[in-house]
Structure 1
């Protein structure tokens, strides 16, 4: 619990906030999402052209899921605004 509180205090500091903002624009969260949330651990295909294609599929799926979330959020906001 003590370590968790220390981590929260660091993130709330100016330096921690600047680090968090920097990480938001880095590609690291995308790869973390693909690896952990999509359970992608290794390439199924072999050879650079096939691996490039597989990375393209993963990127496409990530972007489509992201777009669907944004669309759903906008649709919910429009629904609340109209009511």
Structure 2
């Protein structure tokens, strides 16, 4: 599957997507280091960061949709 054009496009997409999220967390949200120590606590902290990122992204999409409906 990876040798097909579709597989290649999926592989390329997987390689680039996480970079933008980490860049936004570091640059836009000011996340530089974990506040907690230990794998369980760090996993929890990553979960909270991911949740916040996804909620903010969803709120921005909802706002764009509302603005488009009103116009």
Determine if the TM-score, normalized by the shorter chain, exceeds 0.5: yes
Q: For residue 70 of structure 1, what is the aligned residue in structure 2? A: 61
TM-score (norm. length: structure 1): 0.67
How many residues matched?
61
TM-score (norm. length: structure 2): 0.78
- Shift of the alpha carbon at 1:26? 1.9
CA distance, structure 1, for counterparts of residue 23 and residue 35 of structure 2? 18
**Any gaps of 5 or more consecutive residues in structure 2?**
1-11
CA distance, structure 1, for counterparts of residue 27 and residue 60 of structure 2? 18
CA distance, structure 1, for counterparts of residue 55 and residue 39 of structure 2? 24
Q: 1:61 aligns with which of 52, 58, 65?
A: 52
Q: 1:36 aligns with which of 27, 37, 51?
A: 27
